[in-house]
Amino acid sequence: MIATIHGSISLIEENALVVEVGGVGMRVFVPAPLLAKIKVGESILLHTHLAVREDALTLYGFNAQSDRQLFDLLLGVDGVGPKVALAVLSTLSPDTVRRAVANEEAELLSRVPGIGKKTAQKIVLYLQDRIKPADILEGVAFLTDIDNEVLAALTALGYSVVEAQTAIQSIPKDAPESVEERLRLALQNFTGS
């Protein structure tokens, strides 16, 4: 119904922003990574999904059409509503979701708040048939078993999955293949040294 909105950001809330379009402020719920990189007054174009319920009309917005399409796919999973689908895209990057599907890593999806082991498995099974192999492989950096251990250690220390993945990607390609050394190098990403 509402495919895109383009306007000026007039307010940033905890999990949404208000986009002023023709004098009307529209509240749009967006993934956390998008909220972190925008400022009030900026112009923005969002690809949207309108969720219609008996008691509410809710807009969800994404800066890329492919992100909105992934959101729509997540909504097709039994037990996944708009809030949970948004939580997935707030916690994990779209590439990480695709990688989790490609590698059948339901445990990665179960790290998202509100998603248990069974729902994570449902997501993997549902998306395997709906995401093209080219979409899964495009731009996805596969983690080795050692880097998966580093990811688990970083998330156990309280870092989000997105922060942990960013830190792992910052590790030099010629770094030693030991968990301890790779964890030390990943932690340097957070300290800036």
CA dist., res. 5 & res. 53, Å (int) = 20
- pTM score: 0.70
Of 96, 28, 94, 99, nearest to 65 by C-alpha is 94
Of 159, 99, 160, nearest to 133 by C-alpha is 99
Tens digit of pLDDT for each residue in 35-67?
888 999 999 999 999 999 999 999 999 999 999
* Rg, C-alpha atoms of the chain: 18
Any idea which architecture 65-137 has in CATH?
Orthogonal Bundle (1.10)
Tens digit of pLDDT for each residue in 92-121?
888 888 888 888 888 888 888 889 999 999
pLDDT at 170: 80
In which residue ranges of the chain is CATH 2.40.50.140 found? 4-62
In which residue ranges of the chain is CATH 1.10.8 found? 145-191
Any idea which architecture 145-191 has in CATH?
Orthogonal Bundle (1.10)
175 and 106 Cβ atoms separated by less than 8 Å: no
pLDDT at 20: 96
Fold of 4-62: OB fold (Dihydrolipoamide Acetyltransferase, E2P) (2.40.50)
